[in-house]
Amino acid sequence: MRNRPIPGSSGLVRAMSLLGDPVLHAPCETVTDFSGGLRTLIEDMFATMYAAEGVGLAANQVGVPLRVFVYDCPDDEDVRHLGHIVNPRLVEADGVTVRGAEGCLSLPGLEAGTERFDHAVVEGVTAEGEPVRVEGTGFFARCLQHECDHLEGRVYTDRLRGWRRARAGWSVRRADWGTSASPAIEARGPGRSPSKGGAKSSPVGD
């Protein structure tokens, strides 16, 4: 069997959008153009994710407001999940609610205990327009929910409440990149609990 190219091997590392950038805080647009430009974007997203040592990345994290994300993420049994999804829909998010450490490439150096369901299913298409259904448990389910949140204009700090939300705001203000970003936490309103449709600490995508 012929070996496939390593994802991102032909891609370019793009600049990362950080908390407070408007592109991170608005819903992304549906992909309608499946030309070569989409495949280039996906390659660049893989290259950027690997360079930042993340396990997932949404298109708006590189400044492109399209409904696409990539992932290379283990589950709790250390099984590797690798791929991309275009126009993803979170069709199932259920099971036990777990609060686990969650980080984000758009909030570098920070993490917080964030509640997620331990099972998730995402449906969408590939860059070639072929239907795809991805199911995850444990840490990979967290990744899938995290990336779907990004495409709706949410970051994980939007799900925090009480002292966890206050501490996240304090940490952002102290970060060397966070001077203009901290109002984004304060202005987003109260945190959310996991809702349908909507343990490790690697930056999920964010």
Give the pairing of strands 131-137 and 56-58.
Answer: unpaired
Backbone angles phi, psi at 140, to 5 degrees: -70, -35
Residue 177 near residue 18 (C-beta atoms within 8 A): yes
CA geometry: angle at 74 spanning 109 and 69, to 5°?
Answer: 70
Which residue of the set 43, 102, 115, 147 is catalytic?
A: 147
Beta-carbon neighbour count of residue 164 at 10 Å? 17
Distance CA(42)–CA(116), nearest Å, equals: 26
What single-letter amino acid sits at 43? E
What single-letter amino acid sits at 185? I
Active site residue 130: no
Active site residues: 147
